[in-house]
Each structure stands twice: as C-alpha cells, then as structure tokens.
Amino acid sequence: MSSASTSANSSGREASPALLIDRILASVERNPQAYAFIWNDRPASYRLLLAYLSNAVGALHREGITPGLTVGLEMRQGPLHLVTLLALARLGAVIVPLFSSARSERKEAVFRKFAIDAVVADHPARVPEGCRVIVVRSLAAKGDESALDVSGFAPVGATPLRIGLTSGTVGPRKGILLTHEAFMRRLERRFYGTGDPPRVIPPTLHVTSALQLATHALCAGGTVVFPASYAGADFVAAIKRHHVTHVTMPALHLESILDELPSDHAPIPSIRHLRLQGGMPSAALIERVQRRFSPHVHVPYSTTEVGVIAMATPETLAAAPQSSGRVASGARVEIVDEEGRALAPGMSGEIRVQVDGMPSGYMGTDQGTPPRFREGWFYPQDRGRLGADGLLFVEGRVDDIINLGGRKLSPRHAEAVLEDFPGVREAAVYAFEDAGTLRIAAAIVASGDLDWKALERHAHSALEIFAPARYHAVESLPRNSAGKLLRRELK
C-alpha cells in the first residue's frame, strides 16, 4: 500500500437487511417468554413487549401520527422510551431525539432546523407555538395484543426513520437522516461479538450508539436492562444481579463508578464487551478499568455521521494502548495533507473516511465550509496517522492543533504526557496569548495529592517548548453527555 489508506469494503452491494420491527418480531416468535427488558428488577417478556407495542401503535395513530410526520421524542430512560420509539418507527414517523436537559436556546434551534410537527413526551413538555404535545405516561396491556397494522402503512427500507443529531462540540447541532435500511446497516456494523443472547445496559437512548445497543439486544433475542439509576451502586448491582454482558458508557462516568467500589473489587465475570465512549481514555484509566471492572474493554472511533470507523479491542489496547485499532469492516480510511493528497503510513494528517451506505451530507444546507461530505468522503475534522501495521491513531481535532513558531502540537499528545504523571486523573491543554506570545496552559484534575513542581519537570522533559507555562487545578473538565471534551470552553 503506497499511501496511508486501508479498506475493508465488501465486493458488491449486500442484500438489504430485515427491518428493525421485523427483526424484533422474529425474536418474539422464537422465544415469546424470554425477557425483552428488565426495569426496576421487573422483567417483561417478548410477548408482553409485542402487546405494549401494539397498544402504543394504536394510541399514537389515534393521536394523528402519520407517515412522514417529524416527531420529537422527549422521554426519560426506560422501557416507555424504547417502546414509544418503536411504535413511532412502525407508523413511519421521522423521530428527532430531544434532550430534556438541553438549554432552551439549543432546543429551540433543533425545532426550527428540523421543522418538528409534534412532540411525544412523558411529561407536559414546553414546545414552540404551533407544535403540539402528545403525553404518554405509562405502558399498559392485557398481554395478548398484536395488532401493528392499524394505519394500513408499513415502512420499507427507504422510509425515513430517525434524525441523528451531532454532539455540537464544534458548532450548532447538525442532523443526519437515517432510513430504516440505513439504521439496520449501521446496526449490523456495531461489532458486539457473538455468543448467547446479550443482556445490555444502554446509556441514554437519545444517543444513536445507545439506541443501537438496545435494539441490537432485541433483534438478537436478548434483554435490555434498565437499572434503578446510573449511580455507581445501582449500576453495578444491576450488572451483577441480571448477568449483564454488554455495557457502553463514557469512560469518565465509569471512572467515577470505580471510585465508589471497594479497593479489592474484582472484575465482573458476566461482562464480555465493555465499550468506553468519549474519546481515547488514558492508558492508566484503561488499566484500572481492566483490573477492577472488566478486562474486555473496547474503545471505538466513531461518529454520528457514519458510525463505527475503527475499534480498539483488548488485544489492540494491550499492544498499543493509545491506538483506535484497525479500521472496521465496511470502512476505508485515508490520511491526507492540506491539499487532499494521501500520505504514507506513519505520517500525520487529516483523517477522511468512507463507510458502506453512509449519507451524502447533512440535512438541509448545513454542510459547513468546506463541506464535511465531499467527493465521496466524510471528513470528521480529526487528525491522525495509520501505522504500517494498519493501526489507526487519532491525535485530536484538526482545528485544535497549536502552532508555536511553526512547530505544531496535538493537544492530545501533550495531555497523554501529563496524564502519565502520578496523581493526574485528567488533563486538557489549550493555547493563550501572553504579551503577544502564544503559550500553552493546562487544566488538571488531580486524583489526590499532586506534586506540581515534579509535574512541571516531567512536562518540560517530555514536551520541551510545548510544556505548559501555566497550570490550573480544576474539579472537572467541561464535557458533553457523551463524555467528549468541550475544548472551546476551557478558557
């Protein structure tokens, strides 16, 4: 291979996957008495799931939900959220996730951008004038209901299903439209492994990756577990009590849970796939998680726009702790220079990706300058390199690179150096001007007593001119709900 490019594209177009509802109905038929979900330690069978879904489809149809209607979904975590989403999908609605915790101006921007017609919520949600609210407070069923075809409509592969929202860490939230077929193609690329039907705990269902973990379990005849809360004790107790096999969460959330565990806490044997989100954790955190929670740690490199691009497995992390692993099947990655020319292995540049079935752009005209989707590629605005062995290393955001007198620094490289020092839990660096000169500052979250002078010497030894000129002790770093650092808010 002459350039830093790797591909796992299959030859020819694969047959369209079965649609989501069809796959879940197949799970009902295979084993109607198996547990579809467990909520507050109360199980519900697949047969009861079908009854709940049937009643929800009928109720929402009577409320005027029709194919093509753009519907905001604003619900708390739980089976009501999941069943309502499936009912909206069966009726052909275009679903937009709405975060109750989002600032009012951000929610209003989502309403305007995507022309939301109605909101389905578990409480009387506040909406703009002209938008109606449908309140659904609970699930109810006798247990034998099964009528899903109440409207005469059935979705096909090309039917729009959901608008996935970007995190908004680098500007206003954008939307990616997923059809029913595109959702299933992405679901088949989630790389959860094989084995007995999974038992999963998803993070907030508003996030695409969490929704896909939950629907993966239902399509495979597994169980979605909703703990009493996501606080440490409740979360760990639910994993142990219900023999959870798959867990996905931001790395920093798991780190706070580890702080609550006894010092001699052993890994949980039922977990066979622990996926950490929010960027590459430090090597020290990965080691701590493997030793005290589960050795089966996976770290994906993925985006809302195209899904999983690469996956660091336990084996990868053992050999190259800061690698994002090998490029996933169905994906291709190139590293290019500022002119768009492919670079040789080992050279750093901008990452661009192609993924089978990926969208061609954002909804509407919100493409950015230059467009993130162009000439068949998606540009995540990340920098990185591909090793000669095919491992991908993500070095940070393109616009985060700090230029000091012509020498360029990836903030993530400096942060990894600082996080290697004992007593540093998290580090984030940024540039500031001092009397007209650009310098580096570091925000440090300490895990206990920290020898600041020794940290300064360590940084100077490893980073030289890129060593921070200022250090700030902080209790936490600004992050979004997925755990991604909001670098723009550091100053």
From the list 385, 452, 467, the residue with the least C-alpha distance to 421 is 452
Determine the pLDDT at residue 194. 84
Q: Which residues contact 486 (CB under 8 A, 6 or more apart)?
A: 169, 478, 479, 480
Determine the pLDDT at residue 2. 37
Neighbours of 13 (CB within 10 A): 8
Q: For residue 370, say if its preceding peptide bond is cis, omega within 30 degrees of 0.
A: yes
pLDDT in tens, the chain (491 residues): 334 444 444 334 455 678 999 999 999 999 999 999 999 899 999 999 999 999 999 999 999 999 999 999 999 999 999 999 999 999 999 999 998 766 677 788 899 999 999 999 999 998 999 899 999 999 999 999 999 999 999 999 999 999 999 876 556 789 999 999 999 999 988 889 888 999 999 999 999 999 999 999 999 999 999 999 998 899 999 999 999 999 999 888 898 899 899 989 999 999 999 999 988 888 888 999 999 999 999 999 999 999 999 999 999 999 998 899 999 999 999 999 989 999 999 999 999 999 988 999 998 765 566 789 999 999 999 999 999 899 999 988 888 788 787 777 878 888 889 998 999 988 999 888 887 778 899 999 998 889 999 999 999 998 888 899 999 999 998 887 667 788 878 87
**CA pair distance 96, 163, nearest whole angstrom:** 5
Determine the pLDDT at residue 8. 44
Mapped onto helix, strand or coil, the DSSP state of residue 363 is: coil
End-to-end CA distance of the chain: 42
Please give the domain boundaries of the chain with CATH numbers for all domains.
Answer: 16-322 (3.40.50.12780), 401-489 (3.30.300.30)
The answer to whether residues 326 and 310 touch, using CB atoms and an 8 Å cutoff, is yes
Query: 């300490």: which residue's tokens?
Result: 446
CA angle 37, 42, 43 (to 5 degrees): 40
**CA pair distance 93, 180, nearest whole angstrom:** 11
Query: 């030793």: which residue's tokens?
Result: 291
Describe the chain by its helix, strand, coil percentages, rounded to 5.
30, 25, 45
From the list 406, 408, 430, the residue with the least C-alpha distance to 418 is 430
Determine the pLDDT at residue 193. 86
Q: Which amino acid is at 383?
A: R
Distance (Å) of CA 48 to CA 64, 81, 82, 372? 25, 16, 14, 44
Q: Which amino acid is at 246?
A: H
Determine the pLDDT at residue 253. 87
Determine the pLDDT at residue 109. 87
Q: How are beta strands 175-179 and 160-165 bridged, if at all? A: antiparallel
Please state the separation of Cα 270 from the chain's center in Å. Answer: 23
The answer to whether residues 143 and 28 touch, using CB atoms and an 8 Å cutoff, is no
**CA pair distance 484, 491, nearest whole angstrom:** 16
Determine the pLDDT at residue 14. 52
Phi-psi region of 374 (alpha: psi -120 to 50; beta: other; left: phi over 0): beta
pLDDT of 12-64, one tens digit each? 445 567 899 999 999 999 999 999 999 989 999 999 999 999 999 999 999 99
pLDDT of 108-151, one tens digit each? 889 999 999 999 999 999 899 989 999 999 999 999 999 999 99
Neighbours of 33 (CB within 10 A): 8
Mapped onto helix, strand or coil, the DSSP state of residue 403 is: strand
CA angle 258, 297, 279 (to 5 degrees): 80
Distance (Å) of CA 163 to CA 110, 113, 153, 190, 206? 11, 11, 20, 18, 11
Determine the pLDDT at residue 282. 84
Q: What is the CA radius of gyration of the chain?
A: 23
The answer to whether residues 111 and 97 touch, using CB atoms and an 8 Å cutoff, is no
- Count Cβ neighbours within 10 Å for each residue of 91-102 and write b for 16 or more, e otherwise: bbbbbbbbeeeb
Determine the pLDDT at residue 239. 97
From the list 397, 370, 368, 365, the residue with the least C-alpha distance to 384 is 397
Determine the pLDDT at residue 9. 42
